[in-house]
């Protein structure tokens, strides 16, 4: 179980997150839903260890991991797809997916996962993960790599951004696959349709949690309130 306990985050005297409490149970999927600037990516970076909270803790199975680095957290099974996918000059898609051969996976599984994210093996396996791939294609490669990695926790920061209109369907297929591996998914989005595809949701606005529960319930509330979010100020 991964938790945020009373997490606060301030930068230059500005409070960006306030008393954030979140619980991510094994094998479940969660969305963090909220408008731009709500603090979603900040929460993701704190979960991943890229940022330290100003106060509060990150707990993994009850153990305080607030001080652990990104690499140390990755070793414990926490992984993340960043909002802006990286480029790797000179590395082929196939090499990237197998971590340069470190990950022992069969060609069939690579093929299957590439097809699943909409990248036909024959056309993409030997391409380079550099600027010759579009942002959307790099995003798909990154998602494929996480599917092959089968981490215990995966944080997806707006996986739908930069993808086309088939993104909803793609996200659904990816969630299904992670569910089968027992991976806990933490999916960040500002699209209510995407949030509906997870089991539970947190609605974040102005750095606070304004609602949590079953995704349907939270999305209903979001639809009613968010477009004039009274929590955004102060």
- Provide long-range contacts, Cβ within 8 A and 24+ apart, for 90-95: 90/128, 90/130, 91/128, 91/129, 91/130, 92/125, 92/126, 92/127, 92/128, 92/129, 93/119, 93/124, 93/125, 93/126, 93/127, 93/128, 93/129, 93/141, 94/125, 94/126
The answer to whether 221 touches 31, Cβ cutoff 8 Å, is no
The stretch near Mg ion (CB under 5 A) out of 37-45, 107-115, 122-130, 173-181 is 37-45
The residue within the footprint of Mg ion, chosen from 12, 13, 14, 36 (CB under 5 A), is: 36
Q: Residue 104: how many CB atoms within 10 A of its CB?
A: 7
Partner touching 16 among ligand ADP, Mg ion, none, CB below 5 to 8 Å by kind? ligand ADP
Confirm or reject binding of residue 41 to ligand ADP (CB under 6 A).
yes
Q: Considering beta carbons, is residue 177 or 190 the nearer one to Mg ion?
A: 190
How do the residues of the chain divide into helix, strand and coil, expressed in percent and rounded to 5? 35, 25, 40
In whole angstroms, what is the distance from residue 169 CA to residue 183 CA? 19
Confirm or reject binding of residue 41 to Mg ion (CB under 5 A).
yes
The stretch near ligand ADP (CB under 6 A) out of 36-44, 73-81, 95-103, 140-148 is 36-44
Q: Considering beta carbons, is residue 122 or 233 the nearer one to ligand ADP?
A: 233
Confirm or reject binding of residue 189 to ligand ADP (CB under 6 A).
no
The stretch near ligand ADP (CB under 6 A) out of 29-37, 113-121, 134-142, 171-179 is 29-37
- Total residues in contact with ligand ADP, by rule CB under 6 A: 10
Q: How far is the CB of 135 from ligand ADP (least distance, A)?
A: 17
Distances (CA, A) of 187 to 81, 216, 230: 10, 15, 24
The stretch near ligand ADP (CB under 6 A) out of 40-48, 54-62, 73-81, 148-156 is 40-48
Footprint on this chain of Mg ion (rule: CB under 5 A): 36, 40-41
């Amino acid at each position: 179980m991964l938790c945020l306990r009373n997490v606060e985050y301030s930068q230059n005297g500005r409070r960006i997150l306030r008393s954030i409490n979140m619980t991510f149970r094994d094998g479940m999927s969660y969305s963090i839903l909220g408008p731009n600037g709500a603090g979603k990516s900040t929460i993701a970076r704190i979960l991943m260890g890229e940022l330290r909270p100003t106060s509060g803790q990150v707990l993994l199975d009850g153990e305080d991991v607030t001080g652990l680095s990104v690499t140390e957290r990755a070793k414990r099974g926490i992984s993340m797809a960043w909002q802006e996918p990286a480029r790797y000059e000179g590395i082929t898609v196939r090499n990237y997916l197998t971590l340069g051969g470190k990950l022992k996976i069969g060609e069939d599984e690579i093929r299957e996962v590439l097809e699943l994210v909409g990248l036909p093996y024959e056309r993409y396996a030997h391409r380079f993960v550099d600027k010759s791939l579009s942002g959307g294609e790099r995003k798909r490669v990154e998602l494929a790599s996480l599917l092959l990695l089968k981490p215990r926790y995966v944080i997806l920061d707006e996986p739908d951004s930069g993808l086309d209109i088939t993104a909803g369907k793609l996200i659904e297929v990816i969630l299904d696959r992670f569910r089968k591996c027992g991976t806990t998914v933490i999916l960040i989005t500002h699209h209510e349709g995407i949030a509906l595809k997870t089991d539970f949701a947190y609605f974040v606005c102005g750095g606070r949690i304004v609602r949590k529960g079953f995704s349907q319930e939270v999305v209903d509330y979001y639809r009613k309130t968010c477009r004039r979010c009274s929590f955004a100020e102060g």
